[in-house]
Amino acid sequence: MTRSSALAIIFVIGGTNAEAENARAFAVLCQAYRATFKAASPEMYTPPTAEPDTSDIENMKLMTLPETNFTKGKPDGFADNDAWETKKKALMQPSAAGGKPPYQRYSSDKLTAAAHEQLTKLAKEANTAKNAYNTAKQAIATAVASINNNLKLARTATTSGDDNSDDAYDTRTLACTTTSGTKAGKSIVSDIACICASASGTNVCGNGIGDTNYRTGGTDTATAAKTAFQAVKQHCPGKKTATPPTAEHLAAIIAGVANELGTTVRGAKGPTILGGGNTAACTGETGTQNACVDYKTPITAGGVDAIPWVQKFHAATQAMKSAQAEASKMRSAAHKVEALTATARTLYDSIGTADLAVQLATAANSKQPANPTAAKPEKSEATKKCKPDTKENECNDKDCEFKDGKCKVKEGVKAEKDDKTTTNTT
């Protein structure tokens, strides 16, 4: 947002009398006041990504434990054996009637051992990323608390944010004057009291907007400042923001204040004064020229950025940027866990694929003969004729003899025929 657009936002506002001396200064500070009410929340910065879940990787790591570790004892992280047995049962329980368990044990010890080693590394990386996610999430909560705290401090110089407490104000001498204003900029509400109060300040911040009591020669107390602010705050132009302010919004408000300094006061002291007139002493005494606040002390020390409530705006802005940076870390961590889980799942499933391939190969080999290309030797003609169950009176072929109750091939004939058998080894 540019400075000109910031001023457009600030000054195109109803509810002020443009002819009143401090109407513009009042509008600037009221914008600052209004911006401090809507609290930020962690949800504003927390990315919509799902919280990282490392359970899938952890489960796959458990399912690839060596057999001894899986069946006996318990892995780290389990209180006792019963807890481990309950976990194993859950891992291997079918997800639905007739369905497969979400995880399986595979028979290949070598593949499982290699996968377990890799899954252990992936699980470690995933848990590191998850811890980073949670750390960033907590950092966002801390940053949001800082945003809201600093906005309250800017408004009232108190963590309660109560503008009806004396703690938000100071004496006119310390909070406003050109000679002793060491507390100038203590809070936004204190500065509004300074510019909207003087002995003749009934209309100083707009038609009917002003106070006549808060002055060095009158009631110079924090209570009088509180009364002065309460008298005019209902006329603060604009509305309380519907959403928490952004860093750009706060920067625009600071730019508006800086741009308004010295616009109604001429001379050497003008550049540090908000409101008032040419003879401004910011005492609140006779003449609306004394209805002002002189930021000389903080500006001399460090420019507009050294004004106390402006410093709180800057602190809130830094907290906003910090929350945004932590949100980026959360997104990165969540995406990393997703990627690691996908890698782990691919690795785990590959064990099953390899295991199935081994089983199929083993089954196929068990059905084949030891030497599938070797032909059985042919039976000799004599063997065919001399069947063992042939009766004695029928065992009369020249190559046969009945011996030991069986029809057999004669010894000489058998040897001769065997020499003639052939074997196909191609």
Q: What is the pLDDT of residues 158-168, one digit of tens each?
A: 999 999 999 99
Helix (H) / strand (E) element for 407: namely strand 406-409
CB 351 within 8 A of CB 108: yes
Would you say the C-alpha torsion 23, 25, 30, 35 has a positive or negative sign? positive
Spatial distance between the Cα atoms of 333 and 182, rounded to a whole number of angstroms? 48
Residue corresponding to tokens 């100071």: 170
Q: Is the pTM of this model over 0.85?
A: no
CB 158 within 8 A of CB 166: no
Q: pLDDT tens digits, the chain, 426 residues: what are they?
A: 444 444 444 443 333 333 478 999 999 999 999 999 999 999 999 988 889 999 999 999 999 998 888 887 788 888 888 899 999 888 888 877 667 788 888 877 788 888 999 999 999 999 999 999 999 999 999 999 999 999 999 999 999 999 999 999 999 999 999 888 899 999 999 999 999 999 988 899 998 899 989 999 888 999 999 999 999 999 986 667 778 999 999 999 999 999 999 988 866 668 999 999 887 899 999 878 899 999 999 999 999 999 999 999 999 999 999 999 999 999 999 999 999 999 999 999 888 777 655 555 555 555 555 555 544 555 566 677 788 877 777 788 878 887 877 888 887 775 455 554 444 443
- Work out the number of other CB atoms within 10 angstroms of the CB of residue 261: 20
Residue corresponding to tokens 């011996």: 403
Radius of gyration of the chain (CA): 46
What are 369's two structure tokens? Answer: 């003969």
Spatial distance between the Cα atoms of 277 and 281, rounded to a whole number of angstroms? 9
Helix (H) / strand (E) element for 323: namely helix 308-366
Spatial distance between the Cα atoms of 14 and 367, rounded to a whole number of angstroms? 95
Spatial distance between the Cα atoms of 26 and 28, rounded to a whole number of angstroms? 5
CA dihedral 382, 385, 386, 390 (to 10 degrees): 180
Q: What is the pLDDT of residues 114-149, one digit of tens each?
A: 899 999 999 999 999 999 999 999 999 999 999 999
What letter would DSSP give residue 237? S
